[in-house]
Amino acid sequence: MLAGVLKKWGHEVRTVDNGLGAWEILQQPDAARLVILDWIMPGLDGLEVIQRVRALSSQQPPYIILLTSKDEKSDVFSGLESGANDFIRKPFGRNELYARVRVGQRSIELQTSLYETQQTLTHLATHDSQTGILNRRAILEQLSKEIARVRRARLDGSPHWLTIGFFDIDHFKEINDQHGHQAGDEVLKALVGIVSKQLRIYDYFGRIGGDEFLVVTPGASDGKSENIFERLTKKIAAAGIETVAGQLFISISVGVASIDPEAYELDILLASADAALY
């Protein structure tokens, strides 16, 4: 009866007849955001299901309405304390059910809007607005994490490697001066596209500023890292970049440095790559 009413109101409804079935569905990636859950069920009762759901790590947890014939104040407290968002006593009228469901919908819509805003702000705070890759702060934070990872691994006896490539575009100022800043911007975006396609899924790529970029390659030893950056320089030099000023060819200079087994300092690693670049 409940499913029939909800379908008439335009909802897509999935039903189960026990707590274990509810728990199984609610663990799935496409689990419902609005849940009407009976308290008394075979397998797991409503409170047990709620407690398990709330223990899951989720950016957008479901809105749960607990449905029960229990009417003591202590029962209401127990239901809400377990993690239920709302509580409906049986028997209930259609109007009450409709009002409770609408409250749940509005709560989910607000939560979704806040989550999307948070994701947008996080992206803006960590990515370069012009090229879309990691900005200076984000790529250096990631480098710090990778240095810490290598340090921990080596303390445990694992020979982990970490190599970085610091590079800039040769004579980039001349491109801006001769062809205009729009052409320069198009060169930057094309460069980012070429480099991104050549990197491995676990490499990191960020813009330090201007035409300076940093690539972080975890697990690459000296020989392997030289191959990675040699391939990058060749790909970029061979690529004709279409701009408002016509097709342009560019080259990059790269300074490569691997982490020193005796020094796990970000500044030392960056200084080594910078010196190699020059």
- What local confidence, expressed as pLDDT, does residue 226 receive? 66
Residue 65: pLDDT over 90: yes
Helices and strands, counts by H and E, the chain: 10, 9
Structure token pair of residue 58: 């989720």
In the predicted model, what is the mean pLDDT of the chain? 90
- What local confidence, expressed as pLDDT, does residue 30 receive? 86
- What local confidence, expressed as pLDDT, does residue 223 receive? 60
Residue 1: pLDDT over 70: yes
Give this prediction's pTM.
Answer: 0.71
- What local confidence, expressed as pLDDT, does residue 224 receive? 63
Structure token pair of residue 9: 């109101």
The residue behind tokens 């049986």 is 90
Per-residue pLDDT band for 222 (boundaries 50, 70, 90) equals low
- What local confidence, expressed as pLDDT, does residue 241 receive? 94
Tell me what the mean pLDDT of segment 65-92 comes to: 83
Q: What is the pLDDT of residues 131-179, one digit of tens each?
A: 999 999 999 999 999 999 888 887 777 777 889 999 999 999 999 999 9
Count CB atoms within 10 A of the CB of residue 151: 14
Task: Between 128 and 224, name the one with better pLDDT.
Answer: 128
- What local confidence, expressed as pLDDT, does residue 221 receive? 63
Q: What is the pLDDT of residues 94-123, one digit of tens each?
A: 899 999 999 999 999 999 999 999 999 999
3.40.50.10540, 3.30.930.10, 3.40.30.10, 3.30.70.270: CATH of 136-277: 3.30.70.270
Dist CA 26 CA 55 (whole Å): 12
Dist CA 24 CA 52 (whole Å): 11
**Do the two domains 2-126 and 136-277 of this chain adopt the same fold?**
no
Fold designation for 2-126 = Rossmann fold (3.40.50)
Radius of gyration of the chain measured on its C-alpha atoms:
28
What ranges do the domains of the chain cover? Answer: 2-126, 136-277
